[in-house]
Structure 1
């Protein structure tokens, strides 16, 4: 491998790479210094004048991942040095770096990882077909055949690949599809977090850097959105250098590569990675020196700004008015013909998947709260409640649970509009929307935690279900308002990102030659803070802002997008709520008992004591029912089936599946209700009582629900208050007496049968006397869920018509009609004492609702 790199990257070529990187950094440094002074001016002006948007209703957590790791687990990694697959233990800390260890023991001993992958700029792939499509674009003239494999042979059917346009690719594989889905979700979350851009907390460095990068690319003729604006500033600058350097080296080195197609692709990837590392090392050092130089001048510039702020603002407004007079006549026809007709189409393409994604966030949050309510209602222990709330606190950072939300936004499609406005890829907007969804989920969870904790402190833990529901309703209302505000801001920014570059590209040829003349109108002392190029862009931006604002406002009226109108301002119904935002996150594990579920403790926090543990957001990823595998870290050949190790794993997996099949035959525990409405219904239970009625008296039976007050005493002596009686009459088809599907069916057959009229009265008396014993025998032998119905009927009926003779057969408590002649018994009236009156009513199907 070293020979391949050294043969194509000799000393002369490395010096050429260093010189080209230095030239790009020199150009960028001049632009950055200019934009730094402008960003400082804007920051100080905002601080003096004030301003801001709508106030957030939800609370914001400052450090949500404090004391946490994202997840850990074991997988196989492909080592290019010896072309072997080896088991590696992976830990993803709160920084979202991908740390690979020799084994779990090495991780527990806090040794340094063998490899640390920064996922900025990568793409997470799950199939070799996707990888081949991207590899086909790496070298011109080299196309891999469909179905062919690259220079590696995957050990299992479930690969995971990290692809980068410049850096080295990383290959992993797992044993099951379930593992692959979890790992892919985690890898995507690592990429998403690292691609999120720079921190918005820095009000000077961040806008100065982003504007400098954009201006540098515009000077090269690139106005469209840039996919590689991801990672830390040195990485972004390395991508900026590689944008022009990479194609040049590919055209020079590509034809000189030897070997088969797969070998040439592998060699080119190694050469590209070596070049990228060299460029990254250089940009890191030079950017650090650049920032230090600008920071050294900040105090002096800040003092001058605060002294002359009024004069600088007046000068800027004067020059902007002159530029506006030049630009507006040219922007109006451009807006009328090329912008305004397409704003609604762009907005619709953005709103549909984004609104579905935010709705899914709301649904996932609601389902988690329902699970907690069910646990509280079903009498769950404090430890279990603590586990539920601990998992809820990290819901926004659980990549697997949030995957359904992220998938909705991934359907965003700007086809047709991309060519017209030269939008490179919608991935920039997809990633931004997903980050906003994660922030809103965490804000909702944090607000719920603070409200619940406040309620428990004041009222205690009595009636936990109602307390959770009250907090839930308040938080969801606030989430609806905040998500609407965040989405509208996202739509406006996305429209500007699409339209402004297009307008600048159309207007620059005619306007740029005139801009230097306006520099004469600016005082020399103010020239560092006022740049005519920036004022030109501001004029273009203001010219289209009105149309964008109107389009978003019209969309807010449509209910299908679930947006609040701008005129609707949600008053702060919780004046003391924002005071809770200063409180730290609630440690539910400590409040309700143990630290957390098994597998949640994965390591000791640096600097903490032996009892200070770092909890994990995602459960340990491993084979179902199998302990953590592959601890020996043996070499694994690159074959379709991994010998030695996988045989043992699959045997254990088969054992687990067999045990699972055995348990499937056993009766399952009753499940909890699936919605809040069902939870509320449990508070007012319903008891059903089934009694027969003859066809002649069916018309006289009153139907419907009638309010009734009374006390119903069950068989075990428990008394319940009856509030309503619902009468339901159903036609039950007559079945063969030989059909013994259930004792309840035979009971209905016997009750409705006829006997000779001569001995009717005698048999009635005997049946009434033996009714309790017969019903008791029936309910003991029938385990199909009829116990509650028959017992309730027995406790309420004064008499029941049943046969006098018991059968010797084991499958029924009644005598078979094949031996005894069928009887016909006329149904007897029963009394209803619910309201205190001895009122005779017809026997019908009665539904009793208990308060």
Structure 2
């Protein structure tokens, strides 16, 4: 591919999005809830961060249909059975705890958890395989979960604010983890949040069987309800999107002649509101916010700064290695090394040490949860990792 030089920057068109080729693939043992047994499947993480699984590598090479697939938006990657069991406690209220799966075939376990979608219990054949898979899946979760935030458009911002206002009207604040993924999934998450208390009170008591069986049926029921809701919302949202574009054009035609007058009126209203709220707001900030502001900024900036420093160190190391090749290698080798350096951001195992720095948010923001009722740490962590 051609390289484009612009000042001191080096850009490759192919590096502006995820690569088309598979990011990672290999065999994993997966727990099947229907048969209550572990089955070996061949998993492929595609360049668009969709996870697919096949009966075998041969089935993949022959072009057979996958056994299943899932987008990774909204998932949480867990590292131990205890973490997974703890995540199920709130979701399965009223059901006794205990291991949700039979004896695993090995010790290298990891889990993909989503409150309303299929759960994945994996077992790798080695610590190295688990490490690589976790790094790749973590990248996929980050990329797919921040799809809306990365658009950085007025429409996306307005949508997120509308969802937040909807939840606030019902007395629910924070929980930014529900606002991850594309629009239909976010709407589905919020609707499931509304329905969950009703489903717990009316459906959960009617489920019979052993505790493990009841837990399994309850999770399957939630997944089926969510899939149905998501299907309906996706269809409706596509229709709304087309209608919105037409309405937007009509609205622009209507307001353009009066735009200057509207802006003047907006400034007048803003001035009046400022006169009313400025003094109380300054007083509130003076005693409730400003004393804590310096510590808050430090806690928020520290993980980002550490991550950026890790990226810088990685870049310097790779550049030093390439400098050593300049005199002893042909131009073609140097070009290949430059492309490899450019692809580093799409190599999860290479970037994992940098992304780990952002996980400091999870610890440093616990104080904010207690002091200010802050929630939704995951969205902040993913956003910080996107900056890297």
Q: Do the two structures share a fold, i.e. TM-score over 0.5?
A: yes
Q: 1:361-386, CA deviations, whole angstroms, 9 ceiling, x for partnerless residues?
A: 00111112222233445x34666545
Give the one of 123, 143, 151 matched to 1:193.
143
Give the one of 158, 162, 177 matched to 2:112.
162
Q: How does 1:685-704 map to 2 (within 5 A)?
A: none
Residue 71 of structure 1: aligned partner:
24
Q: 1:534-589, CA deviations, whole angstroms, 9 ceiling, x for partnerless residues?
A: xxxxxxxxxxxxxxxxxxxxxxxxxxxxxxxxxxxxxxxxxxxxxxxxxxxxxxxx
Residue 355 of structure 2: aligned partner:
406
1:424 corresponds to 2:375? yes
1:241 corresponds to 2:191? yes
Using the TM superposition, give the Cα deviation of residue 192 of structure 1 relative to its aligned residue in structure 2, in angstroms. Answer: 0.8
Give the one of 13, 27, 44 matched to 1:91.
44
* Residue 278 to residue 65, structure 1, CA distance change in 2 (3 Å): closer
The number of residue pairs the alignment matches comes to 378
Which stretch has the larger CA shift, 329-338 or 400-409?
A: 329-338
Q: Helix, strand or coil: the match of 2:27? A: strand
Unaligned 5+ residue runs, structure 1?
A: 1-55, 438-851
* Residue 309 to residue 58, structure 1, CA distance change in 2 (3 Å): farther
Q: Helix, strand or coil: the match of 2:360? A: coil
Q: 1:81-131, CA deviations, whole angstroms, 9 ceiling, x for partnerless residues?
A: 333333322222221110112222332334432211111111112211111
CA distance in 1, matches of 2:8, 2:293: 30
Residue 369 of structure 1: aligned partner:
319
Q: 1:771-802, CA deviations, whole angstroms, 9 ceiling, x for partnerless residues?
A: xxxxxxxxxxxxxxxxxxxxxxxxxxxxxxxx
Q: Helix, strand or coil: the match of 1:401? A: helix
Give the one of 115, 118, 129 matched to 1:179.
129
* Residue 293 to residue 356, structure 1, CA distance change in 2 (3 Å): same
* Residue 421 to residue 59, structure 1, CA distance change in 2 (3 Å): farther
Q: Helix, strand or coil: the match of 1:69? A: coil
Q: How does 1:549-568 map to 2 (within 5 A)?
A: none
Q: How does 1:376-387 map to 2 (within 5 A)?
A: 376-377=326-327, 379-380=328-329, 385=334, 387=336
Give the one of 40, 61, 72 matched to 1:119.
72
Residue 728 of structure 1: aligned partner:
none
* Residue 135 to residue 223, structure 1, CA distance change in 2 (3 Å): closer
Using the TM superposition, give the Cα deviation of residue 143 of structure 1 relative to its aligned residue in structure 2, in angstroms. Answer: 4.4
* Residue 356 to residue 220, structure 1, CA distance change in 2 (3 Å): same
Give the one of 75, 81, 88 matched to 1:135.
88
Q: Counting helix residues as a fraction of each chain, which structure ranks higher?
A: 2
- Asked if the contact 1:166/1:272 (under 8 Å) is kept, the reply is yes
Q: How does 1:765-844 map to 2 (within 5 A)?
A: none
- Asked if the contact 1:151/1:266 (under 8 Å) is kept, the reply is no
Give the one of 283, 307, 321 matched to 1:333.
283
* Residue 201 to residue 61, structure 1, CA distance change in 2 (3 Å): farther
CA distance in 1, matches of 2:10, 2:173: 37
- Asked if the contact 1:158/1:174 (under 8 Å) is kept, the reply is yes
Q: 1:488-507, CA deviations, whole angstroms, 9 ceiling, x for partnerless residues?
A: xxxxxxxxxxxxxxxxxxxx
Give the one of 415, 424, 434 matched to 2:385.
434
- Asked if the contact 2:33/2:216 (under 8 Å) is kept, the reply is no
CA distance in 1, matches of 2:303, 2:102: 37
Q: Helix, strand or coil: the match of 2:69? A: strand
CA distance in 2, matches of 1:229, 1:118: 15
- Asked if the contact 1:197/1:229 (under 8 Å) is kept, the reply is no
* Residue 381 to residue 73, structure 1, CA distance change in 2 (3 Å): farther
Residue 218 of structure 1: aligned partner:
168
1:149 corresponds to 2:99? yes
- Asked if the contact 1:75/1:89 (under 8 Å) is kept, the reply is yes
Residue 544 of structure 1: aligned partner:
none
Give the one of 275, 295, 304 matched to 2:254.
304
* Residue 200 to residue 302, structure 1, CA distance change in 2 (3 Å): farther
Residue 211 of structure 2: aligned partner:
261
Using the TM superposition, give the Cα deviation of residue 267 of structure 1 relative to its aligned residue in structure 2, in angstroms. Answer: 1.6
- Asked if the contact 2:24/2:133 (under 8 Å) is kept, the reply is no
- Asked if the contact 2:146/2:181 (under 8 Å) is kept, the reply is yes
CA distance in 2, matches of 1:310, 1:57: 42
Give the one of 82, 101, 119 matched to 2:54.
101
- Asked if the contact 2:176/2:377 (under 8 Å) is kept, the reply is no
CA distance in 1, matches of 2:19, 2:256: 38
CA distance in 2, matches of 1:194, 1:324: 39
Q: Helix, strand or coil: the match of 2:319? A: helix
CA distance in 2, matches of 1:198, 1:123: 18
Please provide the CA RMSD for this pair. 2.3
CA distance in 1, matches of 2:373, 2:252: 39
CA distance in 2, matches of 1:214, 1:358: 30
Using the TM superposition, give the Cα deviation of residue 400 of structure 1 relative to its aligned residue in structure 2, in angstroms. Answer: 0.6
CA distance in 1, matches of 2:89, 2:334: 52
CA distance in 1, matches of 2:38, 2:367: 44
* Residue 288 to residue 366, structure 1, CA distance change in 2 (3 Å): same
CA distance in 2, matches of 1:59, 1:304: 45
CA distance in 1, matches of 2:94, 2:382: 32
Structure 1 or 2, whichever has the larger Rg, is 1
Using the TM superposition, give the Cα deviation of residue 301 of structure 1 relative to its aligned residue in structure 2, in angstroms. Answer: 1.4
* Residue 271 to residue 57, structure 1, CA distance change in 2 (3 Å): farther
Residue 342 of structure 1: aligned partner:
292
CA distance in 2, matches of 1:321, 1:370: 56
* Residue 57 to residue 250, structure 1, CA distance change in 2 (3 Å): farther
CA distance in 2, matches of 1:155, 1:168: 21
